[in-house]
Structure 1
Amino acid sequence: MSEIIVKVGLASCGRAAGAMEVYDKLKEYLEQNEGAYILKKTGCIGMCFEEPIVSLSGSELGEITLGKVNAENVINLIEEYRKDIIPSSNIILSDKVEAPYNDLFAYQQRIVLQNCGRIDPLSIEDYEASGGYQALRKALTLSPDEIINEVKISGLRGRGGAGFPTGLKWSFAAAAKSDIKYIICNADEGDPGAFMDRSVLEGDPHRVL
């Protein structure tokens, strides 16, 4: 059997629901039982209502995601998983066994949020392992005009509602006469109930860069 990997969602929604207590319990147990599992932090997978969320992988059950986990039951849930026992009361998502939200996720094609809940947002190694920074490596071989042209050809547009062409916006900035230019990341989210920017910045900040 492979090593058990335990991922705890520590975005704002998870922390508000008690995910740090779950993480601290796992960390404490790991200090007393070295090698019991690999512990990782991750972002939100989009089901804030099921927080705290813990994902497990490495057993014959494949990858499973557990919801409403707490510091009192998390170790037992991991031990059940290690023995290939399905934690039926907490399982919410799985790539092998039946779970309540399998169908919901099966119809989704995640692009911007693809890595959220899967990688450690503070680990550049995790991001690169998922294919990250390939575009940056290509950009370093191109001239500024070639980069802008690539963005124009891609059809990339802003996600703020107006859908303004990104390549056109970049061409305006490139043409501006100044020795100093600034890049501003607007993550204000002034719309009521809007949390898209927060999810990306907390779960996959490298994608923004």
Structure 2
Amino acid sequence: MIYRSHVLVCGGTGCTSSKSFDIIDEMNKLIRENNIDNEVKVLHTGCFGLCEKGPILVIYPEGATYSRVTVEDVKEIVEEHLVKGRVVKRLLLGDKDAEDVSRALDDVGFFKHQVRIALRNCG
């Protein structure tokens, strides 16, 4: 099945301890309630490398990266971003006043100047 949006939720140790699995459960519940479960796929991923800003949630195809997401934030993300197509700026990682949403984590200041070397077991 082809989905219009993919929601990637960090499942690294830091994000898991900050209730990323509860976020996934709540997101799936609200996606079903809004009848968009055939359009949006929620996926549990490995660590994004931003543990201090977790839980991290990335929505594609926009590449919107949300940080410090709580279970209480999920309703706003589903209703605004996934249903209405409007990014929730207050939860965005990085510059909240930016016009464009970062398309890749490589555009975030923390990663911008890093060079990935060891990739064998990455992602």
TM-score, length-normalised on structure 2? 0.72
* Alpha-carbon distance between aligned partners in 2 of 1:30 and 1:73, rounded to the nearest angstrom: 14
- The aligned residue for residue 68 of structure 1 is 68
Shift of 1:78: 3.4
Bigger relative CO (Cα 8 Å, ≥ 6 apart): 2
Structure 1 residue corresponding to 2:118, chosen from 98, 112, 122 = 112
One-letter amino acid of the counterpart of residue 112, structure 1 = A
The answer to whether the 8 A contact 1:64-1:93 is kept is: no
* Alpha-carbon distance between aligned partners in 2 of 1:109 and 1:17, rounded to the nearest angstrom: 28
Moved more, 41-50 or 68-77: 68-77
**Structure number with larger C-alpha Rg:** 1
- The aligned residue for residue 25 of structure 1 is 26
Q: Is the partner of 2:86 in helix, strand or coil?
A: coil
Structure 2 gaps, min length 5: none
* Alpha-carbon distance between aligned partners in 2 of 1:56 and 1:26, rounded to the nearest angstrom: 12
For these two proteins, the number of residue pairs brought into alignment is 111
Structure 1 gaps, min length 5: 114-131, 133-199, 205-209
Q: Is the partner of 1:108 in helix, strand or coil?
A: coil
TM-score, length-normalised on structure 1? 0.45
Identity of aligned residues (%): 21
Q: Is the partner of 1:92 in helix, strand or coil?
A: coil
Q: Is the partner of 2:8 in helix, strand or coil?
A: strand
CA RMSD of aligned residues (A): 2.8
